[in-house]
Amino acid sequence: MKSLGGSAILVAALSLTGCVPNADPYPEIPRFAKSGGQTQAELDAKLATIPGLKFQKSSGGKPNVKGNTGFTFHFELDSGYRIADPAGLVDYLSRSAWSVRDGYMPNSAIYIECLCNVADNLDLVVAGEDAGWVAKDSQLHRGPAENGYTDVNVWVSTDNTYSERRGAVANRERLGKWPGDAPDVPENLVVPR
């Protein structure tokens, strides 16, 4: 009698228990739209045109164990520049995240993180409130850190008790159908000092 290898036994066992490797645990989360919006590569090319900003990360991710997907922007501001329109930047990045079609639709939050110039005292939570993406007093507001780091969460999750308070319901209405239209980079978001 021929012995089955370990891999064959594992596949047979998983088949009997109903567990199939690589099964999609969250089929309800929209992803990889065939049209609309823009690709990740197109977004990256646009971000590269913004003077003074260096993006270390600008992407979404696969669902975590709770089925949450987000989109993160992490960037640094060159010391020779300043963010002239913080609210406009939060608006542009929020709409951009929602427009990326070759990944998962963000269903929790859009995270925007900047290591900015200390002297500017930039607060992205205030910028998010000014842009209308952040409900007043909905986030832990600690202001910029001593090194200039600041961040904001633009909530898009509409399936929990915090959705209304965090502004997520209004944000989803404002964003519309996913993927949204790809916004153009506004002029004079970041300018030389």
The pLDDT, as a whole number, for residue 24 is 79
Residue 5 pLDDT: 54
What are phi and psi for residue 68, nearest 5 degrees?
-90, 135
pLDDT of residue 177: 97
Please tell me the predicted confidence (pLDDT) of residue 58.
98
Q: Are 71 and 42 in contact (CB under 8 A)?
A: no
**Where would I find the H helices in 4-123?**
6-17, 40-47, 86-99
Residues of the chain with pLDDT under 50: 1, 8-17
For residue 145, which phi and psi values (nearest 5 degrees)?
-75, 170
pLDDT given for residue 21 in this prediction: 55
Amino acid 113: pLDDT: 97
Q: What is the pLDDT of residue 16?
A: 47
